[in-house]
Structure 1
Amino acid sequence: MNITDIRTIVVGNPWKNWVLVIVETSDGITGLGEATGGLQTMPNKEAVEEIKHLAIGKNPLEITNLVDELYKSLFLKITPAISAIEVACWDILGQHLNVPIYQLLGGKVREKVRVYANGWYSGERSPENYAKKAKSLVDKGYTALKFDPFGAEFMRLNKESELFINKIIQSVRDQVGSNVELMIEGHKRFNSTEAIKISHWLKNYDVTWFEDPIDNDDIDSLIHVAKKSPVRIIAGEGFNKHKDFTRFVSSNSTDIVNPEVMRIGGITGAIKVAAICSSFDVDLAFHNAESPLKTMTNLQLCGAIENIYIQECFDDFNEDWINELFPNYQKVENGYLSIPDKPGLGIKINEEVAKSHPYNKSNFLRMFKPGWENRKGASSSEQGQ
């Protein structure tokens, strides 16, 4: 078997264009991967186009050799393009052997994984709206919710904003009760001093974690914040080197990280990161702010990796047409996702539906602008600001 072509499809999801990668083979088996990256849509698409000639003609079942060649060709850099091709090759291998990918990673360690909802807090930015939406999710069976209560704030909070944000979090906690986990998203927006200050009042709401309070690139400062914070600080989605995880978890400043599979080398890279974290008794909560294809990728890992704490999921809040784009993806039931048992990733894409929702340059979030949490993309006028 050899790779005959690698194609990219950009799907115009309203708040983030999805870059989907299709690897075709001489045996007729097709594998899927994802190289989505927010404002990196066209760069990520072209990155796949630029390296695909290095993979065409190669055996997709020899994943390690193929990825090693791509990695070295990019001067020892892991990219979403490489990760997408890598995942697609695992999909091909699973289909070729007629087994799910997790079976090739040592077998299933769980039947289902608990998920936390993200992307649910659209609409009016008020304590009442947040509380109402949170309650509706708990009624559906969710036991964990993540949200960014900070709106357009950046770097520091004034006293008025701090009081309002406290009201939002308090209203959610009051509505869902003490048995539901709350995760607070920082989106890397604060400086270290402000992050530590915020962490002290977040403790009042029994939050499970404060995610990405500062820039991930400064791991020393991240460790400093984590050690000064009375609540758990998690990070990892921005790490693109395995040694970044080693530095963070070996500091004993956290016990959960959230790797992004596309940034760490796909499935093989995720297994390596899981092993690093396991050696320091640290759990994983894979980042997952892309398409249902990415959810299905993460589920294969959740099926095979023991040190999984929880899995992020946006899928309940997608546009209705996405159910037609991915007609057989796994749905959340009572706060859990079952580990799929179909060969490979266990998901297919309807390319006709994809064509009807093409790339749109406005499909991205204007983070730290008022109303970004509505996830409707940026308007043309905003792009000119």
Structure 2
Amino acid sequence: MKITEVRTLRLDEFPNLVWVQIGTDEGLSGLGETFFGASAVEAYIHDWCAPRLIGKNPLHLQARVNELSDYIGWRGAGVETRAYSALDIALWDLFAKARAMPLADALGGRSRDRIRTYNTCAGYKYVRDRRGQTVDNWHTGDAEGPYEDLDAFLTDAGALARSLLAQGITAMKIWPFDIAAERSGGLDITPDELRTALRPFEQIREAVGDAMDIMVEFHSLWSLPMAKRLARELAPFNTYWHEDPFRLDTPSDLKHYAEACETWICASETLNGTPAFRAYLQTGVAGVVMLDLSWCGGVTEARKIAGMAEAFKVPVAPHDCTGPVVYGASCHLSMHLKNALIQESVRAFYTGWYRELAQGLPDVTDGMIELKDAPGHGITLDEGLWRRADATVRISSRSDI
């Protein structure tokens, strides 16, 4: 089997997402995806990666990964890593299809048939803004369905918790501190801002008691002193984990944060590769390893990261708040990994716009995720997307090399 074509797709409606499809001379193809800097990733895929893939055997996965590595761009989750990640997801999808197996089985078999999910409380417009990740520009617009959960946790988090429990979902992630961080650059919070940010935790505990686990997302926005203060303020609410309290340029800083934090530390979807996660694990305070398949190096690197975490006796919780392909592949990885703790999902996405773009999404029932039986990661894009008026399609083939 030989790779004959590398094709990418971007849609103006979803400007942060780029999909990549790897085609072969035997008619099989694999689908990958990544998020942020979509046009730059597209350019890197075609300028650097495609010439190194076309004409090669896609089933020799590690060889293909080895050949893609550039002289620069391997230290952080930049354009190069996001391109490698998307391509690696596509190669694993193709690999599993060639063996007529779901990805979870092609990875070496399942550790479980279902996994618990938590709801990241985003709304329908959460990834549609080019300006980046702020509450201000994602907390806008009319609801597109019943699960405008970002508005809900900022206004009536107790009602939101009851709604999730009614679906069997017993864990939720919220980020009410972001508004203050965006104003102050993460350096300070006023008494009024602090009271407002703590109110959702009060509402959840008043409404459902300890029936709901609460994950706190800080989006890497705070200074270390302020992050420690917020950790102490949150102690009475028995939160499940604290995620990315500040930028992990130096993971060893988490040892100082742990002095004030009484719950698990969770990091980090922003880290790339085994060296960065090794630095995190070696702090001795890692509670949960969160990796994003489209930012850490793909399935190949994620397996190595998870294995390393297992050696440190630390669980893994794959990230998903981007697109349907990463979501599907992450669910397969979670079924395979021995130390997978819980899988992130966004009900506004998997009941909403994911279904506008793709088929084959995993099932979510009573707060648990189950896979379908299709080969590969099971996610296929709607064929009409490639012909949409807002689509940018670029193809590299043997004749272009």
Structure 2 residue 109 is matched with structure 1 residue 107: yes
Q: What is the SS of the residue equivalent to 2:364?
A: coil
- Residues in 2 aligned to 1:187 and 1:354: alpha-carbon distance in whole angstroms: 33
**Structure 1 residue 49: Cα displacement:** 1.8
Deviation at 1:353, TM superposition (A): 3.6
**Partners of 1:246 and 1:271 in 2: how far apart?**
13
Distance 1:206 1:276, change over 3 A: same
**Relative to structure 1, is the Cα distance of residues 309 and 124 closer, same or farther in structure 2, using a 3 angstrom cutoff?**
closer
Letter in 2 for 1:175: A
Mark the CA change 1:125 to 1:93 in structure 2 (over 3 Å): closer, same or farther.
closer
Indicate the SS of the match to 1:123: helix
Q: Deviations over 1:241-271 (max 9, x none)?
A: 3122112212221221201122222111011
RMSD: 2.1
In structure 2, C-alpha distance between the alignment counterparts of 1:247 and 1:309, rounded to whole Å:
21
Q: Mark the runs of 5 or more structure 1 residues left unpaired by the alignment.
A: 361-385
Which of 274, 277, 288 is the matching residue for 2:309?
Answer: 277
Q: Name the amino acid aligned to 1:36.
A: F
Q: Report the Cα distance in structure 2 between the residues aligned to 1:341 and 1:49, rounded to whole angstroms.
A: 32
The correspondence of residues 1-385 of structure 1 with structure 2, limited to 5 A, is 1-12=1-12, 17-37=16-36, 40-50=37-47, 51-72=49-70, 74=72, 76=74, 79-118=81-120, 119-120=122-123, 121-123=149-151, 126-128=154-156, 130-154=157-181, 155=186, 156-317=188-349, 320-353=352-385, 355-356=387-388, 358=390
Given that residues 299 and 340 in structure 1 are in contact (C-alpha distance below 8 angstroms), is that contact kept between their aligned partners in structure 2? Answer: no
Moved over 6 A (4+): none
Q: 1:354, 1:147 → 2: CA distance?
A: 34
Where 1:202 maps in the other structure, the secondary structure is helix
Structure 2 Cα separation of the partners of residues 126 and 302 of structure 1: 30
The answer for the alignment partner of 2:395 in structure 1 is: none
Contact 2:154–2:176, Cα closer than 8 Å, also in 1: no
Structure 1 residues 35 and 350, CA, compared in 2 at 3 Å: closer, same or farther? same
Aligned equivalent of 1:375: none
Counterparts of 2:342 and 2:30 in 1: how far apart (Å)? 26
Distance 2:263 2:13 in 1: 34
> Is 1:316–1:332's contact at 8 Å kept on the other side of the alignment?
no
Cα offset, 1:207, TM superposition: 0.4
- Where 1:21 maps in the other structure, the secondary structure is strand
- Supply the distance in 2 between the matched residues of 1:229 and 1:357 (Cα, whole angstroms): 50
Residues 321 and 221 (structure 1 numbering): CA distance in 2 closer, same or farther, change over 3 Å? Answer: closer
1:65-102 per-position Cα deviation (integer Å, ceiling 9, x unaligned): 01101014657566111111111111111111111122
- Per residue, is there more strand in 1 or in 2? 2
Deviations 1:121-174 (A, max 9, x none): 33377443x222232111111010001112421112111111111112211222
**Which range is displaced more, 170-179 or 196-205?**
170-179
- Tell me if structure 2 keeps the 8 A contact 1:115–1:311: yes
Would the aligned equivalents of 2:218 and 2:245 in 1 still touch at CA under 8 Å? yes
Seen in structure 2, the aligned counterparts of structure 1 residues 101 and 73 have a Cα distance that, compared at 3 Å, is farther
What amino acid is the match of 2:166? D
Higher deviation after alignment, 278-287 or 76-85: 76-85
Which one-letter code corresponds to 1:135 in the other structure?
Answer: R
Unaligned runs of 5+ in 2: 124-148, 393-401
8 Å CA contact 2:268, 2:289 repeated in 1: yes
Structure-2 separation of matches of 1:141 and 1:124:
18
CA distance in 2, matches of 1:322, 1:264: 22
- The letter for the 1-side match of 2:32 is G
Report how far residue 211 of structure 1 moved: 0.8
TM-score norm. by structure 2 comes to 0.83
Contact 2:176 2:197 in 1 (8 A): yes
Partners in 2 of 1:164 and 1:6 — Cα distance? 49
- TM-score computed with the length of structure 1 as normaliser: 0.87
User: 2:365 and 2:262 mapped to 1: Cα distance?
Assistant: 33
Letter in 1 for 2:69: Y
Kept in 2: contact 1:30–1:92 (CA 8 A): yes
- Seen in structure 2, the aligned counterparts of structure 1 residues 72 and 151 have a Cα distance that, compared at 3 Å, is closer
What do residues 355-381 of structure 1 show as CA deviations (whole Å, max 9, x unaligned)?
448379xxxxxxxxxxxxxxxxxxxxx
Give the deviation of 1:348 after TM superposition. 0.9
Q: Is the 8 A contact 2:96 2:376 kept in 1?
A: yes
Give the residue type in structure 1 aligned to 2:200: I
> Residue in 2 aligned with 1:370?
none
Q: How many angstroms does 1:220 deviate by? A: 2.2
Provide the C-alpha distance between the structure 1 equivalents of 2:213 and 2:153, rounded to a whole number of angstroms: 21
The alpha-carbon deviation at position 3 of structure 1 amounts to 0.8
Q: CA–CA distance in 2 between the matches of 1:81 and 1:53? A: 14
- SS of 1:182's equivalent in the other structure is strand
